[in-house]
């Protein structure tokens, strides 16, 4: 990975700072969604958007642009300037830290290129990572666009893509960090048949994150705020299971919440089976990783339940999103440790 060992600590701190910043981006992005602030900035101004409105005239212009979209007319027609500034700053903070992350990656990477710090493989990998960062910026705007004309919120499909790509970036950097610490060049996309059950577990986590994004984008958590039953039944009673189409599955808030709940149960059962298998096979190097994953999974499920029955309290909802980062990190660590 590193050709010049004297840069190892610098690269380690660089990767750590990228992970912390990405975590902050995901946190602020989640809060931006929870506060319905994502459509407050209706223009994609890469350079001029670095600064927020600096005077009353600029604020009036920004507010006037917001008044042109359906969200204002249908949901926030009584909003005043002070409330607008609150949602504006949430979205602005999300965009600003995204720009900061891009520079935090690019400037040190250029320095490392000049110093020939990485081998060719990692020059290519980090170059591809920068490409994904640029794509993420475009997808963020593509997502915002979906809520500016006919809808009062963004497309839940585009929201899921935006979130998943952020977590792919996080996983990419985390994997490189683990490789650096372990002094082993392990490959994430390992095509061997070894430890496929762990790869499947990571896949389930990403699938659950996608369903979680659908739940958030469809505001599906606002219905059936009871547990373990959905009101008084296991299945949502407002869904016609006989007539629903495959396409319609992911447009129905009740059914989406049902799938999100039950995939959590499946992942929990799968983790218990994995834990039993690892201890039965005496894979001692995986004892700590699987116990860590299991603990964080229990925490994640518990916070999810509390979030639901609290009526989507924003503090609990944010904690649920943050715990996703820790669970994903533990799962990636578990997978990394399973590879010899």
Q: What is the pLDDT of residues 302-330, one digit of tens each?
A: 999 999 999 999 999 999 999 999 999 99
Positive or negative torsion for Cα 132, 133, 138, 141: positive
Q: Does residue 291 sit in the same domain as residue 322?
A: yes
Domain interval for residue 271: 189-340
- pTM of the shown model: 0.92
Return mean pLDDT, the chain.
Answer: 92
Whether residues 164 and 229 share a domain: the answer is: no
**Whether 195 and 316 share a structural domain:** yes
pLDDT at 195: 78
Q: Are residues 108 and 212 in the same domain?
A: no
Clarify whether residues 133 and 196 are in a common domain.
Answer: no
**pLDDT (tens digit, 9 = 90+) per residue, 233-283?**
999 988 887 888 877 888 999 999 999 999 999 999 999 999 999 999 999
Rounded to an integer, what distance in angstroms lies between the CA atom of residue 294 and that of residue 289? 9
205: confidence class by pLDDT, cuts 50, 70, 90: very high
Counting the structural domains of the chain, the total is: 2
Choose one of 168, 185, 202: the last residue of a domain. Answer: 185
- Mean per-residue pLDDT for 175-195? 86
Domain boundary pick from 150, 185, 220: 185
| Residue 193 pLDDT greater than 70, yes or no | no
Classify residue 92 as exposed, middle or buried by CB count within 10 Å of its CB (0-12, 13-18, 19+): buried
- State yes or no: pLDDT of 28 exceeds 80: yes
CB 292 within 8 A of CB 137: no
Last residue in a domain, options 185, 214, 239? 185
* pLDDT given for residue 248 in this prediction: 80
Whether residues 157 and 293 share a domain: the answer is no
Q: Are residues 54 and 124 in the same domain?
A: yes
Q: State pLDDT tens for residues 277-300.
A: 999 999 999 999 999 999 999 999
């Amino acid at each position: 990975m590193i050709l010049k060992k004297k840069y190892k600590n610098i690269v380690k701190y660089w990767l750590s700072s990228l992970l912390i910043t990405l975590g902050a981006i995901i946190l602020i992005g989640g809060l931006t969604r929870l506060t319905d602030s994502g459509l407050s900035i209706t223009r994609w101004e890469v350079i001029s958007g670095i600064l927020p409105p600096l005077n009353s005239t600029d604020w009036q212009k920004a507010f006037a642009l917001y008044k042109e979209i359906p969200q204002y007319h249908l949901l926030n027609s009584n909003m005043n300037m002070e409330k607008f500034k609150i949602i504006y700053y949430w979205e602005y903070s999300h965009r600003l830290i995204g720009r900061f992350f891009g520079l935090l990656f690019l400037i040190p990477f250029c320095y490392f290129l000049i110093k020939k710090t990485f081998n060719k493989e990692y020059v290519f990998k980090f170059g591809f990572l920068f490409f994904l960062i640029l794509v993420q910026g475009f997808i963020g705007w593509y997502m915002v666009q979906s809520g500016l004309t006919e809808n009062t919120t963004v497309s839940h499909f585009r929201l899921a893509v935006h979130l998943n790509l952020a977590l792919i970036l996080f996983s990419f950097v985390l994997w490189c960090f683990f490789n650096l610490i372990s002094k082993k060049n392990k490959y994430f996309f390992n095509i061997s048949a070894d430890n496929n059950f762990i790869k499947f577990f990571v896949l389930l986590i990403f699938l659950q994150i996608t369903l979680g994004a659908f739940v958030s984008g469809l505001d599906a958590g606002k219905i059936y705020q009871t547990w373990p039953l959905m009101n008084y039944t296991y299945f949502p009673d407002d869904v016609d299971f006989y007539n629903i189409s495959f396409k319609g599955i992911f447009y129905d808030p009740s059914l989406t919440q049902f799938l999100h709940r039950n995939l959590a149960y499946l992942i929990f059962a799968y983790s218990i089976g994995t834990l039993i298998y690892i201890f039965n096979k005496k894979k001692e190097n995986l004892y700590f990783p699987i116990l860590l994953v299991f603990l964080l999974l229990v925490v994640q499920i518990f916070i999810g339940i509390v979030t639901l029955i609290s009526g989507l309290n924003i503090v609990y909802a944010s904690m649920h999103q943050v715990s996703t980062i820790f669970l994903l990190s533990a799962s990636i660590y578990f997978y990394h440790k399973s590879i010899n």
